[in-house]
A and B are shown apart, each in its own frame.
Chain A
Amino acid sequence: MKNIRNFCIIAHIDHGKSTLADRMLEFTDTLSGRDLQNQVLDNMELERERGITIKSHAIQMEYTHKGQKYILNLIDTPGHVDFTYEVSRSIAACEGALLVVDATQGIQAQTISNLYLALEHDLEVIPVLNKMDLDNAMPEDVKDQIVDLIGCNRDDIIEVSAKTGYGVDNVIEALINKIPAPTGDPEAPLQALIFDSIFNSYRGIISYLRIMNGEIRKGDHVKFVATGKEYTAEEVGILKLKQEARSVLQAGDVGYIISGVKSSKEVRVGDTITQVDRPCANPIEGFTNIKPMVFAGMYPVDADDYEELRSSIEKLQLNDASLFYEPESSVALGFGFRCGFLGLLHMEIIQERLDREFNMDVITTVPNVSYNAYTIKGEMIEVHNPSGLPEQKYLHHIEEPYIIAQVISKTEYIGSIMKLCIDKRGTLKNQVYLTTDRVEVTFELPLGEIVFDFYDKLKSISRGYASFDYHPSEYKPANLSRLDILLNGEKVDALSTLIHRDNAYDFGRKMCVKLKELIPRQQFDVAIQAAIGTKIIARETVRALRKDVTAKCYGGDITRKRKLLEKQKKGKKRMRQVGNVEIPQQAFLAVLKMD
């Protein structure tokens, strides 16, 4: 156990986490150049393309130092704000962390929040300055930031170029010399932390774990504490480039267990595994039943594909337990699902995976958060969909979720960023100058304001420089109204939104204007109305199409026109009908495209 080092890497997107990991794997001969499909750890196509890690991964390296053989377990962490809880569980499985900072960019908001997580868990932090090979590296400035942040010695910061391999040897040595070996009692009752799970179509769910105390053997009768379910350990092993079965895993080890679990819902990240016969007294601290924060409807583009969509979502859920779904139907969109996500990026990822891995074309409705609605009888109803809000007369009040958001930016953009946050009903909680030209502001904001377009706006007002991170805080009473959209007098349920009363008029007006752009002219006038309750607050009209005919149709016009009309026909087939009005798919996301 004294020769085991368990560590993770904390870095902002694109600061070179995966490249550094690859270099370490090469350096320790865990894999050779030809195994290397650029960034081994990001093995989903989507992960490689976006340069972010969506799932945690783990890999074991061996390295001989001063005649001693060391086992280095790298536990990779998901790289996005939506996955903070998963990150915290990966961190809990480690004794140390590499803090990788891009020498050309400096510290970003997300790095800081993950760093705080690491410090909370008493991890030994090894600062690494990456991309030293680039001409625009500013090592001195960035070192200042790092020293300010973690109070280390300047000399402790390791200069690296993951691209060229420069400095990787120093990183490995620091891992061995500085990170403490795991502590834990091999004789104590089994206590293992699940930090991730993946789905394998032959073996079912494979759980990744870190043994904190005790040991686990193949064939052991084990219990998952949070779910209370019991299984037999069909196989245990360690994680090399491929899984390697072992007869036993002991305190300090990182590995996997296959125990015949069929559904990802039975394996919760952060849960504790123990022996049925000799259970541990307490589960590992920090387990949280995470709840989806953002909800949206997902409907098949072609209504006939409903069953196919269901099976695709089911399969996705097998390796993504944080995806929630339940059947839902909409007058406008037919049968589909209300899906819950950890955040906006998570939603985007699911949408893209449905498209790439299952070839499913879906219409996604405008996302919203989960509200708590209290009726006059004192009941609390969780509302995942604006149209599920109880009628006004039964409604006592609504509460909405708030988040604490950290934004780091150059000082020159801070004015616009503050204005944006205040416009989004934020309250300033803190403001810290990290260096003379970098400032961190902390805001408390309603999550509902973030799910629309906050992130895009933040990026655009800061020319891409601001970085953003958040974590949920609490539910607070909200002055919200449901804004409905009516087309020729018929309510389009999929277009309803919950909106702060002060913004409702402006929002309703913009929504009508945007829909006017998106709804094509039909054979009759289409009235677009925004309403709160029975009160109409805005109106636009799409005038009837009075003619639609090509003047000329000779030689080349025939091909051109035929293709055009074929396209028109195809588009029409994909439109949805409410009453007599045909609505194109883009209209259902109109709210995201408003200025």
Chain B
Amino acid sequence: MAGIYIHIPFCKQKCHYCNFFSQASTKHKQAFILALLTEIELQKDYLNGEEIKTIYLGGGTPSLLSDKEIKLIFKKISNFFEISTAVEITLEANPDDLNKEYLSKLKGTKVNRLSIGIQSFHDDDLQYLNRAHRGQQALNSIQEARLVFENLSIDLIYGIPTLNHKKWIENLNTVYQLNIPHVSAYALTVEPKTALAFFIKKGKYATVKDQSVIDHFHILCDVMESYDYEHYEISNFSKKKYHSLHNTSYWSGSKYLGLGPSAHSFNGVSRQWNIANISQYIESLQHQNIPFTREILSKQQKYNEYVMTSLRTIRGTDANYILQEFGNDLYDHFLKEVAVFLNDKKINRAVSTFTLTREGKLFADRITASLF
């Protein structure tokens, strides 16, 4: 199984917490699409003819693309890649773009799944995050989208200083009431060099409190469990059969091709990433060059990535797989290092599979680093 990720680096406005690469102007959109089409063709052999099971348009804000632009991109992809009949094609969208008209146009493209950046249904949270939409718009967009797309996902953020327990539970209840089959719920993270980090440092914005994040995480797990969602990755919940194929491909070591500035690709051996600069990306592709940096992964690095990604999922980390793929030494190392976490109940073991307990999920990074 292989996937394609396309990075659309434009936004109407920058959200304060966001450290993804994007520009709050669509000035270069035309030239960007041309460059993207060139990159698709240049990369036609990257996935070695493997069948494409998922395509994901992320960003930035892909819902700033018109249906025509989206069709153009898909046409180019299908010219050069073998697309599965069961392909999952996701478009990330902001609620403020999802009106009736745009949705019906999207229906005419090959997009069959929407991932909507809701974040919260409350205005004060949205203001703290500097989102372009309001709570009511969030609700409306989902209701409208429901009429056109059955396969929906929404993003929510918790740990926001303005979000109390009650409001968080309300947000989660809304997810259930609207029958949304997939939710990505992220703890608000203050990334360095973001506007949020700056405002917090200046004392203009309230800081994110560990305790709220921890409380919200437990509420999230409890509520979603009670509504029968599967907690299939640290930040992802879904109804049966609605796991995101695309996300899962990242956590299972599948190959993927990333297109557009700052996009990452992985072919099983090396990882490469395009330059995070729109003008330079465009200019380089005008000369038929993809501006990227590559790293070849060592056995230790591959092991590290396997542990880091698999441990986050419900599938867990398989010691037998480690033995098979990485040999005796890393197998012994893994079993030795994991013992302490089994002991203090941060990790569960079922035969050869190791998964994080709920408490363990709160320390996933620290645990992962110890297992390296």
Contact = CB atoms under 8 A, between A and B. Distances in A.
Interface of A: 523, 545-556, 558-559, 561-562, 565-566, 568-569, 572
B363 A549 contact: yes
Given A546-B211, A547-B210, A566-B372, A554 B250 contact: yes
Nearest to A543: B210
Contacts of B365: 548-550, 561, 565, 568
Contacts of A550: 189, 364-365
Interface string B67-109: 0000000000000000000000000000000000000000000
Most chain A CB inside 10 Å of its own CB: which residue of B262, B263, B304: B304
Nearest to B305: A562
Contacts of B189: 550-552
Contacts of B308: 553, 558, 561-562, 565
A107 to B, nearest CB: 47
B304 A547 contact: no
Contacts of A545: 363, 366
A547 B305 contact: no
Ranked nearest first, the 8 interchain pairs of A and B with the lowest CB-CB distance are A551-B186, A548-B366, A565-B369, A556-B264, A549-B364, A547-B362, A555-B264, A568-B369
Given A554-B250, A556-B264, A565 B363 contact: no
Given A546-B214, A547-B213, A554 B364 contact: no
Contact of A547 (B247, B295, B363): B363
Given A553-B312, A565-B365, A559 B372 contact: no
Nearest to A556: B264
26 contacts: A523-B363, A545-B366, A546-B211, A546-B214, A546-B362, A547-B210, A547-B214, A548-B366, A549-B234, A549-B362, A552-B189, A553-B251, A553-B312, A554-B247, A555-B258, A555-B263, A555-B264, A556-B262, A559-B264, A559-B271, A561-B308, A562-B301, A562-B305, A565-B365, A566-B304, A568-B365
B137 to A, nearest CB: 24
Most chain A CB inside 10 Å of its own CB: which residue of B5, B295, B312, B372: B372
B194 to A, nearest CB: 14
Nearest to B304: A562
A569 B371 CA distance: 9
Interface string B345-363: 0000000000000000111
Contact of A553 (B5, B250, B263): B250
A556 B305 CA distance: 12
Nearest to A552: B186
A546 B362 CA distance: 8
Given A548-B362, A548-B365, A553-B309, 5 more contacts: A547-B362, A550-B365, A553-B251, A553-B312, A555-B264
A548 B363 contact: yes
Most chain B CB inside 10 Å of its own CB: which residue of A555, A568, A572: A555
A162 to B, nearest CB: 48
B256 interface: yes
B229 interface: no
B372 A565 contact: yes
B295 to A, nearest CB: 7
Interface string B169-192: 000000000000000001111000
A551 B372 CA distance: 19
Contacts of A547: 210, 213-214, 217, 362-363
Nearest to B186: A551
B235 interface: yes
B370 interface: yes
A495 to B, nearest CB: 25
B273 interface: yes
A558 to B, nearest CB: 6
Most chain B CB inside 10 Å of its own CB: which residue of A548, A551, A559: A551
A565 B304 contact: yes
Contacts of B363: 523, 545, 547-549
Given A554-B247, A555-B263, A562-B305, A549 B187 contact: yes
B139 to A, nearest CB: 24
Most chain B CB inside 10 Å of its own CB: which residue of A523, A548, A553: A553
B151 interface: no
Contacts of B38: none
Interface string B235-263: 10000000000010011000010100011
Nearest to A553: B312
A84 B217 CA distance: 66
A558 B262 CA distance: 13
Interface residues of B, number: 39
A549 B361 contact: yes
Interface in B304-323: 304-305, 308-309, 312
B23 interface: no
A421 B316 CA distance: 63
B364 A548 contact: yes
A562 B369 CA distance: 9
Contacts of A548: 362-366
Contacts of B256: 555
Nearest to A572: B369
A558 B211 contact: no
B368 interface: yes
A559 B295 contact: yes
Most chain B CB inside 10 Å of its own CB: which residue of A545, A547, A569: A547
A559 B309 contact: no
Contacts of B370: 569, 572
A569 B214 CA distance: 24
Contacts of B312: 553
Interface in B178-235: 186-189, 210-211, 213-214, 217, 234-235
A558 B273 contact: no
Contacts of B211: 546
A118 B5 CA distance: 77
Contact of B250 (A523, A549, A551, A558): A558
B260 to A, nearest CB: 11
Contacts of B295: 559
B309 A558 contact: yes
Contacts of B213: 547
Contacts of A523: 363, 366
A553 B311 CA distance: 12
B5 to A, nearest CB: 6
A551 B361 CA distance: 10
B339 to A, nearest CB: 16
A558 B210 contact: no
A566 B188 CA distance: 23
Contacts of A556: 258, 262-264, 273
Contacts of B273: 556, 559
A551 B187 contact: yes
A549 B235 CA distance: 10
Contact of A552 (B235, B258, B361, B362): B235
Contacts of A559: 264, 271, 273, 295
Contacts of A569: 369-370, 372
Interface string B312-346: 10000000000000000000000000000000000
A546 B210 contact: yes
A156 to B, nearest CB: 62
A547 B208 CA distance: 13
A547 B356 CA distance: 14
Nearest to B302: A562
Nearest to A559: B271
Contacts of A554: 247, 250
A552 B366 CA distance: 15
Nearest to B346: A523
Nearest to A551: B186
B293 to A, nearest CB: 10
B163 to A, nearest CB: 15
A406 to B, nearest CB: 45
A550 B309 CA distance: 11
B109 to A, nearest CB: 22
Nearest to A567: B369
B250 A555 contact: yes
Contacts of B210: 546-547
